[in-house]
Structure 1
Amino acid sequence: MKTKTKDNITIDDVARLAGVSKTTISRYLNGKYEFMSKDTKNKIEEIIKEYDYMPSNVARSLKTKSTKLIAFVVSDIENAFAAPTIKSMNRALLNTKYHMIVASSNESQEQEKKLIESLIEQRVDAILLNPVSYDAPYIEEFNKKVPIILIDRGIKNLNLDIVASDSSESMRQAVEHVKLAGFSEIYVFTEPYRNVQPRFRRVETFKTTLNKYGYLTSQIEDLVVTIDPKKTDRLEQELLRVISTTKVGTPAIICTNGRTLLAVALAIKNLGIRVPYELGIMGYDDFGANTAHGWTLLNRPSISSISPNWDALGTKAIEVVQERLEKPSSLKKEVTTEVTMIIRDSTKLITTYRVD
């Protein structure tokens, strides 16, 4: 007869050794001690400790139809928002029964599909999704199998819960700040934006805000510069073009995300452009003193930034997913978290600087 060891003991064995029913063991494991004597409770506890018994999460999930697992699929794990958002989500989950799985789709819709299919097979209770593209109709079918909550990026024509940072109002404030600071021309530098909702909203708000300042649509289109942060030569050419074509005053650039901001800042340094005398610069996804990166603050001159509240974004995301799991038929929510504009030397009033 095979001897039971710590590695192969089952709930039936625990019940037999404790001299109680399997139902009693199940109640103990679920914290239901109401109809259990103190002696029985202590006996079960001793057996579980002696044999290091761990209940099967798979078996439990089959019975309860819940694994207590929530997945977060991020489009790019290296994106500025990923680490602080994951951290705040984990913090928000500490006092719940849920745990989180994190995966990255690496900006690939094909990989995104495979990840979601795999997570559904693993029976996760819900998926927090930072989608690769604004155009992703296949998500609707996945949402029929598991609740999907969108994080910081929407998907067109789909009515899903979404938690996102404010993209429109923050861009309007950025444009107005740069104008009031005395810069004569304003450009927006962005990665391809039409299929990424936050970038699209920022660029469109940039255009409508300049319209209010009297710019013609044809003029505004020339002020939107789409770049690849990895193509340094072309980026440097665009920066030199911006400076050379500005006949009066000093131009400024607003970058639509952290990756673009970093690439532009490095190109400015390589070219020896003097900020803010020859060019002003600011951008999204602040890496200030409260982060491990801190380069926007430590850079000389320090760089003005639009800083999302990552803590609020992660916390609200967990609140929304819990409500969706508790009330599956409730109305879909759209939650917008505030951002903060941090003014530093790169866009300070240029009239306060003296050019030697």
Structure 2
Amino acid sequence: MKRVTMADVAERAGVSKSTVSQYLNQRYEYMGEETKKKIAEVIDATGYQANTLARSLKQKRTFTIGVIVANILHIFSTQVIRAIEDVCHQQDISVIVCNADDDPKKEEKYITMLRAKQVDGLIVFPTGENKTLYDQMVQERYPLVFVDRLVEGLSVDTFLLDNKAALRLAVDYLVEKQHRYIAIITTSLIRHVTPRVERISGYRIALEQHDLPIHEEYIQGVNVEDISIALAHLLALTPRPTAIIAGNDLTLMEILKSIKRDKKHIPNDFALLGIDDVAYAPLFEPPLTTIAQPAFQIGEAAARCLLEKINSESMNDRRQPGIHRFQPKLVVRASC
């Protein structure tokens, strides 16, 4: 069968090719409802498919963006991706998602691959160890947005939680519940990942504000597979922590596994508060008190910022990049 062309659609709808092109590109400003309806009916009847390659060549865009997440196992990451995809779907933009596994070499590979595919821009949860590559994109004025993690010395729009405020909320609540021995466990601090480092810093600041001593042994930053060991170490200390903060969702999951295996009882054995309001938090027994971060708002804001950069006709249209922090929310349940 002969392939249906834009000219065929225009002829059957009784409009010009440029009108069909405007319809396909969702430029409806000067188009009547009847015209839109006729074009839609012809496209539906003929099964016409736009030539995306020709569209890309003409507009010098692929209408595709790349998202590189540091670790897709984090619930926060999947929620942010969903929000990005929602925004892009509304704009007929495709999204390619890559998981770097917190590995700088994988991240570098994906950045190179996505740019070779000529994606229009990138949203990256940066490992922080490809600074030369990031800087090259900044110098080229390539549309780039960071999520969740800061890279010092680079002027890139970055969207993330106010991590210190999150820990202040957590410690304030635990102190209000009469806890004086408060510990924190998070995943490895070796790579100085922004949320982990800032949350430890926020924890220290909050304890100082309450005139509570900082016990260094109460601060555990370990690999995921060692979290159960870190928990056992904390519970063997004297004085023993009466409350433990799980620094992220992966940490919380490992702590809950240990609780089940060792037949511990929350909050009798120790109070537990998680950073990240995971979906199962209200389903656990007892329901888990958490600090929620607005993942969907962060994802939406990052996507809109990137599309704004892509759609800017010149760098003069772009505002100065900045750090955009979002406020946490305490969700009180029964684990503290």
Find the partner of 2:124 among 129, 144, 161: 129
For the pair 1:79 / 2:74, whether they are aligned, the reply is yes
Find the partner of 1:302 among 287, 295, 304: 287
> Structure 2-normalised TM-score?
0.83
For the pair 1:171 / 2:167, whether they are aligned, the reply is yes
Distance change in 2, residues 1:239/1:126 (3 Å): same
Q: Runs of 5+ in structure 1 lacking a partner?
A: 348-356
> Structure 1-normalised TM-score?
0.79
**Cα displacement (A) at 1:119:** 1.4
Find the partner of 1:98 among 93, 98, 108: 93
For the pair 1:267 / 2:258, whether they are aligned, the reply is yes
| Number of residue pairs aligned between Structure 1 and Structure 2 | 330
Structure-2 separation of matches of 1:250 and 1:110: 39
Aligned pairs (5 A) from 1:52-71: 52-71=47-66
SS of match in other structure, 2:290: strand
Q: CA RMSD in A?
A: 3.4
Q: Deviations over 1:26-68 (max 9, x none)?
A: 56655679999xxx99998898667644232122112211222
Aligned to 2:270: 279
Aligned to 1:351: none
Aligned to 1:209: 206
Aligned to 1:159: 155
Aligned to 1:335: 324
Amino acid paired to 2:55: R
**Cα displacement (A) at 1:92:** 2.7
Runs of 4 or more above 4 Å deviation? 9-36, 40-51
Q: Runs of 5+ in structure 2 lacking a partner?
A: none
Aligned to 2:245: 254
Distance change in 2, residues 1:29/1:284 (3 Å): closer
Amino acid paired to 2:161: S
Amino acid paired to 1:257: N
Which is greater in Rg? 1
Percentage identity across paired residues of the two chains? 26
Quick check: 1:185–1:246 contact (8 Å CA) kept in 2? no
Aligned to 1:119: 114
Amino acid paired to 2:208: N
Q: Deviations over 1:60-115 (max 9, x none)?
A: 11221122222221112221112222222233334324332222222221111111
**Cα displacement (A) at 1:24:** 7.5
**Cα displacement (A) at 1:202:** 0.4
Distance change in 2, residues 1:19/1:204 (3 Å): closer
For the pair 1:190 / 2:186, whether they are aligned, the reply is yes
Structure-1 separation of matches of 2:29 and 2:269: 74
Structure-2 separation of matches of 1:220 and 1:128: 38
Distance change in 2, residues 1:164/1:43 (3 Å): closer
SS of match in other structure, 2:75: coil
Aligned to 2:235: 243
Structure-2 separation of matches of 1:298 and 1:74: 28
Aligned to 1:315: 300
Q: Deviations over 1:231-281 (max 9, x none)?
A: 3xxx4443333233233x752111111000110111122122222222111
Quick check: 1:134–1:153 contact (8 Å CA) kept in 2? no
Aligned to 1:354: none
Quick check: 1:191–1:227 contact (8 Å CA) kept in 2? yes
**Cα displacement (A) at 1:172:** 1.1
Amino acid paired to 1:246: T
